[in-house]
Each structure stands twice: as C-alpha cells, then as structure tokens.
Amino acid sequence: MNVSKDGNTIATYDLLDAAKVLGPEEIEGIRIVAPIFETRPESSAIADWRKRFEAKYGRQPLYTHAFAYDMIGAIRAAAQKLVLPASNEQWINALRAVDTQGITGPIKFDSDGDMITPLEVGVYRQGKLVPRLADAVTL
C-alpha cells in the first residue's frame, strides 16, 4: 500500500537518518525540512569540508558532525573576544555575539540565545535529496 504520494508528505530531520535504510522508491517525492548541509552538498564549502572529513575519518559526515564542527567554531570565535579566564556571564555574552560563517551556514544567535539555522525544503528524487526549488524547475 503506497500511502505517500509525490508532494503529500513532509518530514523533518528523522527522515535524513531513515532515508539511508529505505529504498529510493519508498522516499520518492517526500519533502523534508532540512539544513542546507543536506540539501546542497555540492556547494563548494560543504563539498570541501565533506572531503576533508572523509579523508580524516574514512566515512561520510552526517549533518550532526557538521553542526558539532560549527559549534566548536562558535566557541573558538567567542574565546578570541575574551580575556581568559572569563566568567560564565562573559562566555554567554561572547557566544551570543558570535556572527561568523560555518559549514552549516551563518553561525549566530537570536535574542533568545537560539542558533539561527538556515533550513529549506528538499525533496527526494531517485534516492537523492535535492532542494525543492531545483525540483520545481525540472518538473
């Protein structure tokens, strides 16, 4: 029984993991809200970082690896603005002031302290996740 039809299903990050074990026909046409690290793997910064990761660790990186890498970058950027040792409050203020470019996109935080993460809708086509805008052009 094929309940999912092209365009009637939208998923979140969990499908990024599940898609690795599902067949292309099972995920075909499913839309997913995903980080650009997943929807645009061929962009130069992402592709270069993926190659470096694969060379060092012998496997393809997950989006969680890229976010972890970027969070270390945020900590490093904050530390460069501090005189160490620094208080907890100084660290928090320095982290909230971070505004730099990472593998997953811009690394900066909103007024509530939440990271602003660029997301977009992708769609699975022939087992591959592509940006929805690219899909719309090819239909």
In this prediction, residue 5 carries a pLDDT of 67
User: 76 and 102 in contact (C-beta within 8 Å)?
Assistant: no
Amino acid letter at 4?
S
User: What confidence tens digit (pLDDT) does each residue in 93-112 have?
Assistant: 999 999 999 999 999 999 89
Least Cα distance to 118 among 134, 133, 129, 107 occurs for: 107
In this prediction, residue 3 carries a pLDDT of 60
Residue 2 pLDDT grade (very low, low, confident, very high; cuts 50, 70, 90): low
In this prediction, residue 53 carries a pLDDT of 98
User: What confidence tens digit (pLDDT) does each residue in 66-98 have?
Assistant: 999 999 999 999 999 999 999 999 999 999 999
Tally the residues of the chain.
139
113: left (phi over 0), alpha (psi -120 to 50) or beta: left
Residue 35 pLDDT grade (very low, low, confident, very high; cuts 50, 70, 90): very high
Least Cα distance to 68 among 115, 112, 110, 113 occurs for: 115
What are the residue boundaries of the structural domains of the chain, listed by start?
10-138
Q: How far apart are the first and last CA of the chain?
A: 25
Is pLDDT of 64 > 90? Answer: yes
